[in-house]
Chains A and B, each alone.
Chain A
Amino acid sequence: MELTLAILLTIITAATPLLLAATGELVVERSGVLNLGVEGMMIMGAVGGFVMAYLTGNPLLGIAFAVLLGMAMALLFGFLVLTFATNQYATGLALTILGLGLAALIGEGFVGRAGIRPPNLYIPGISDIPFIGPLLFGRDVLFYISITLVAGVMWFLFRTRQGLTLRAIGDNHHSAHALGIKVIRYRYLAVLFGGACAGLAGAHLSLVYTPQWSENMTAGRGWIALALVVFASWRPLRVLAGAYLFGAVSIGQLHAQAIGIAIPSQALSALPYVATIIVLVIISQNRRLTMINTPASLGKSFVPDR
């Protein structure tokens, strides 16, 4: 029981940053924009969150700053891709390269310092319920944000008119434009939301998951989040499931390493990446599913004629 609880807790911790980043990217992609810069925005969130929390001693300020940096990166991306109609693939890559470099530069003086972890929620009584209490009611604030975000995004996309409009834009930006929908404005907002979520995900890494700063600490999680969106075929609930599945895989390999299974540790640590590939292959086999769910204008530039 104790061990199960410990494992489940670490799975939640490992899954939360993926869930945060993937939920944000899902909204971005639903609007028809492919932002490959999740990794870059995430690492900026990680360094920003860490440094701000370290300097002020306030982890919540750290989280807020992480969101801000994530959005700043997203704004840069949006300006290029939406206003300047640059190639979305290349621009996303550039954002990742820039983010990784900038974060390394900013965080250089902070390597090895101890981070400040935001306190876990504690509700007297409820949090003391065995097993369920600590699992669900004694978590950090970002866990609750991540779950709320999934619910909020579901509600927004499928229950509100603005959500419908966003999906319409992702499906066909020419049609949307012809009807007078402000395609670029919606996309800017979606991209900024994605940046905020990636910033949160980064803050989770450097404040909750491993409360410290190290270069390249995102270790490809931004890319896995991108894969999760494909895996989830652009559905928020499936993103939730996918994130926890991946959390389980990466925690599983950590535990296997700890136990000392006779497999090289490198093989185990490669597992999440290999799993990503396998999952992508399985998902892409179902062409009908992919075809119907993929936002049809995903990755395509939109320039209105004047």
Chain B
Amino acid sequence: MIRVELLRRDNPSRALRLLSPLIGLSLALITGAIMFSLMGKNPAAALYVYFIEPLTEAWSVHELLIKAAPLILMGAGLSICYLSNNWNIGAEGQFIMGALAGSIFPVLFTDFQNPMVLPLMFIFAVAGGALWAGIPALLKARFNTNEILVSLMLVYVAERILDYLVRGPWRNPGGMNFPESVRFHSYARVPEIMPWDGRANLGIVIAILVAIALWFMLSRTLKGFEVKVIGASPRAGRFAGFSSKGMIFFSFLVAGGCAGLAGIIEVAGASAQLRPIISPGYGFTAIIVAFLGRLNPLGAIAAGLILALTYLGGEAAQISLQISDKASRVFQGTLLLYILACDTLIHYRIRFSRKPAAKGIEQAAASSEQQPPAAERAV
């Protein structure tokens, strides 16, 4: 029986810190190829359609950027949450609430048409997303309520609020009873960057700027240091004079604001109206983006582009190869699992040993003294 043993590294490996997402990605691609051949498709062709073809044409690169924008925004925001050990998994709900809050102007005040509309929509969207994220933050800070479950439950609630609004009060009166809002007027649209070339809009620029700003905050400022300290060890954070409760709010509000902004960019960009479903699971995919980017907002930019590609490639593969678009969700899931496994390599050396099973897998020293608490291991 071959056993896997983990040996702690004194200093986390720098090389693997950079390599681990790449290793994870390669393993996921190999798994994807196996999955495609099991489905009776030529794996090489399938991988080409998935990951290369969308990059060969201008219009589809534009589509890629449209899909990448919300993923980057939310992935960068969630990185702050996860780094500080706050488990916000409800970005999907915050995305919806941001979209709703931002849509108040084009939907309810259709006559209010001037250049002020879009900035106002952005502000409202950020506030809407942040407020929705503020609920689990408040409950965690005030009552110590589990933020994972609360933030997730609020996704279901947000979905129902959206559903109610587009089927009820916000439905387009002239829309043949379809469950959708009025189309946004031109002042309420996110401008396209190169309208002659494709649909990509300013959203991607905003997303990248926000990610850079968050990266700067994390790596250069005291606030960023605070995020990392509290995440690695809450007690060290307290000893440093940082407030854990303050950090709960900070991280949730930042991530919620980012998600809200992503929401309005999505509806005021490509789709230009509200429908019962406005996100193909961006809020959950953003969790993968955050981890693939190694919880670094700059990494989230690259990771967001890669995961946007899986959406786009999924659509393309469905059309040209009749591969179900569900396959890309499987790919996303395996990708995250591989990344997590590879992250272990940063902090541990792996040793494979072939000892008789009788000696037991885990008969070794109790490690109480020198082992730092589990919370201190970077996620």
Contact = CB atoms under 8 A, between A and B. Distances in A.
Q: Do A and B bind each other?
A: yes
Interface of A: 36, 76, 80, 83-87, 89-91, 93-95, 97-102, 104-105, 108, 174-175, 177-178, 180, 182-185, 219-220, 223, 226-227, 230, 264, 266-267, 269-270, 273-274, 276-277, 280-281, 284-285, 287, 290, 299-306
Interface in B326-364: 326-334, 336-337, 340-341, 343-344, 348, 360-364
B329 A97 contact: yes
Contact of B153 (A76, A80, A273, A284): A273
29 contacts: A84-B341, A85-B377, A89-B87, A90-B379, A97-B287, A98-B330, A98-B337, A100-B333, A101-B327, A101-B328, A101-B331, A105-B329, A174-B371, A175-B366, A182-B362, A182-B363, A220-B156, A267-B160, A270-B156, A273-B156, A277-B149, A277-B154, A280-B146, A284-B143, A284-B146, A301-B377, A304-B365, A306-B7, A306-B365
A174 B368 contact: yes
A143 to B, nearest CB: 26
B152 interface: yes
A97 B363 CA distance: 34
B366 A86 contact: no
B170 to A, nearest CB: 13
B139 interface: yes
Contact of A91 (B160, B337, B361, B365): B337
A219 B152 CA distance: 11
Nearest to B168: A264
Categorize the interface residue count of chain B. Answer: 35 or more
A100 B163 CA distance: 22
B194 interface: no
B184 interface: no
A230 B149 CA distance: 10
B374 interface: yes
B171 to A, nearest CB: 13
Given A90-B287, A178-B366, 17 more contacts: A83-B4, A87-B379, A89-B87, A90-B340, A97-B329, A105-B329, A177-B362, A185-B361, A220-B152, A223-B152, A270-B157, A273-B153, A273-B157, A303-B348, A305-B364, A305-B370, A306-B7
Interface string B160-175: 1101100010000000
Given A86-B341, A174-B368, A99 B375 contact: no
B121 interface: no
A87 B340 contact: yes
A184 B150 contact: no
Contact of A274 (B145, B157, B344): B157
A182 B358 CA distance: 12
B197 interface: no
B148 interface: yes
A220 B7 CA distance: 38
B361 A303 contact: no
B291 interface: yes
Contacts of B343: 86-87
Given A83-B4, A99-B333, A102-B330, A305 B367 contact: yes
Contacts of A180: 363
Nearest to B285: A97
Interface of B: 4-8, 82, 87, 89, 139, 143-146, 148-150, 152-154, 156-157, 160-161, 163-164, 168, 284, 287-288, 291, 324, 326-334, 336-337, 340-341, 343-344, 348, 360-368, 370-371, 373-375, 377, 379
A94 B82 CA distance: 14
A80 B341 contact: yes
B5 A306 contact: yes
B336 A174 contact: no
A87 B83 CA distance: 12
B329 A101 contact: yes
A270 B96 CA distance: 15
A180 B360 CA distance: 10
A84 B4 CA distance: 8
Contact of A98 (B7, B89, B139, B333): B333
B374 A94 contact: no
Contacts of B150: 277, 280
B8 A303 contact: yes
B7 A90 contact: no
A97 B288 contact: yes
Nearest to B373: A300
B362 A185 contact: yes
Nearest to A276: B153
A159 B143 CA distance: 34
B138 to A, nearest CB: 10
B144 A287 contact: yes
Contact of A284 (B145, B168, B332, B375): B145
A89 B88 CA distance: 11
Contacts of A84: 4, 6, 340-341, 344
A36 B147 CA distance: 13
